[in-house]
Amino acid sequence: MFKKSQLKYYILLSLGIIVLINILANRFFLRLDFTEDQRYTLSETTKDVLEGITEPVTVTAYFSEGLQPQFDQLRNDFRDILSEYSSISGRQVVYEFVNPNEDQQMEQKAVEAGIQTVMIEAREKDQSITKKAYMGAVIQIGEESETIPFIQPGAQMEYALTTAIKKMTVPEKAAIGFISGHGEAGLQEMMQVTQGLDVLYVSEEVELSDSVNLSKYKTIAWINPQDTVPEEHLAIVDEYLAQGGNIFVSVNKVDAQLNQGIGFSKYTGLGKWLEKKGIKVEENFVMDVNCGSVNVQQRQGIFTVNRPINFPYLPILSNFAEHPITEGLGTMVLQFGSTVSFSGDSTQTYTPLVFTSEKSTTQPTPVYFNIERQWDENDFPMSKLPVAAMVETNKNKLVVVADGDLAINGSGQEMRQVQPDNANFVVNAIDFMSDDTGLIQLRSKQVKMRPLDQIDDADKQVLKWANFGLPILIILGIGIYRNQRRKLIRLKRKGESYV
């Protein structure tokens, strides 16, 4: 037993230890991440950006409260990641959370800053109501600011925050040239690509002429030319490559007119030029059992309905080489693509980057599309056909993807969203060739979904009865064991009493 005087000292010591632990916990943030994809761990890129901050970064997080539990969790997750940013940056990142719904002036300030208004279904007093909510942030460094209109859950939080900070801390952005003048897609038609590049680069359209100076660009991009490219323009690009420049090419060697049901070869002169550089784009249509669909109009009585039909000429790709360009990519979709092959020599290093699935095939031009055809796996005897590749020399890099429409959003009423990883592939390739791979790891970082394995009905029945019966059997077994044990104890005591 402790004496009263000793007890007082032990209590004071315990309180001092608790206070010290709280001070240390408040000063040093520690979180262990046991997830396979490290979804809660900041990347080395983010840590490098934060450690390089030389002036305070202020983050104002506009989050509504009193919403559904998943949105409260989103706010907590965002607070946690900001706490990590603050700790790693040496308290250079400071933040505050504001509920715009509590104050009309604060709500107006959030809207003026570019925070997106979101309408969310909620329940109050057993009634379903629609609430106006805000889940965004404004990041400010000095006089500059960046807005995240809507906080994406999961790993996208880190990408949004880091890119916003890096965009304001890059002293001078390098220029990326996009060749124009031959019917290529303009910058306004590649919204997702230009947004991805905007963090580190300035995108510029450039026409090839005798007076053009391509040396200012570390990398140039040639996206989907429609017209024949003159030889003198190809010679200008040859000179640029000879001086150590790099080029990304997205090109169609085939095209299709679905309204006429025909696919055909397409000539721009770029195919022969690429073949001399080490990559041959074949004049074929690549097909895959994993594919997108097209809508076909059908009559049902007096009505006309659109019915989606699988169309193998729109392959869905998920096989990627282990390379910084494809790191973290999940799914790309081609629109009438072709295969590529190596046509260079021993002075070049050839790296296939993107492949079809294990069940794929090709068709040479011309192709006559049969929408009603019923495809089966026997129609796809080929495996892992390359559709994008890179050739490197000691001077330059050339990346080619055999689909000119890969990352084109279009314009006007024809504008569309492309598969996010289509745009990520283009931006990653330009980053890699420009010797800045820092954001590749973040841009393609995803929370991987791992659905449960499907089992047949017989196994389901076995598991169902096992889940139902095993607890009962275990309880009965424990009861029988305890009953027998008690009998043995009673018999033993009875025997001792008779000794």
Task: Note the pLDDT tens digit of each residue in 148-185.
Answer: 998 876 557 888 888 888 888 877 888 999 999 999 99
Given a contact cutoff of 8 angstroms between Cβ atoms, the answer to whether 469 and 79 are in contact is no
As a whole number of angstroms, the longest Cα–Cα distance in the chain is 119
Sign (positive or negative) of CA dihedral 457, 458, 464, 467: negative
CA 158 to CA 148: how far, in whole Å? 12
Sign (positive or negative) of CA dihedral 379, 384, 389, 394: negative
CB atoms within 10 A of CB 304: 9
Phi first, then psi, for residue 33 (nearest 5°) are -115, 110
DSSP H helices, 278-415, are none
DSSP code for 123: E
- The Cβ-side half-sphere exposure at 201, using a 13 Å CA radius, reads 29
Can you give the pLDDT at residue 436? 64
Rg (CA), the chain: 31
Under DSSP, is residue 269 helix (H, G, I), strand (E, B) or coil?
Answer: coil
Instruction: Enter the tokens of residue 30.
Output: 């520690």
Can you give the pLDDT at residue 190? 96
CA 352 to CA 354: how far, in whole Å? 6
Size of the chain, expressed as the number of residues it contains: 499
Can you give the pLDDT at residue 258? 84
The residue whose two tokens read 């009585």 is: 301
- Structure pTM? 0.72
Pick from 268, 274, 253: which is nearest to 398 by CA?
274
Pick from 36, 31, 40: which is nearest to 448 by CA?
36
Can you give the pLDDT at residue 447? 47
CA 247 to CA 293: how far, in whole Å? 32
CA 292 to CA 150: how far, in whole Å? 29
Can you give the pLDDT at residue 386? 97
C-alpha angle 393-395-396 in degrees, rounded to nearest 5: 70
Can you give the pLDDT at residue 433? 93
Report residues of the chain scoring pLDDT below 50: 447, 449, 451, 498
CA 366 to CA 408: how far, in whole Å? 25
Pick from 4, 101, 10: which is nearest to 62 by CA?
101
Q: Which amino acid is at 484?
A: Q
Burial of 427 (0-12, 13-18, 19+ CB in 10 A): buried
- The string of DSSP codes covering 354-385 is EE--SSEEEEESSEE--TT----GGG--B---
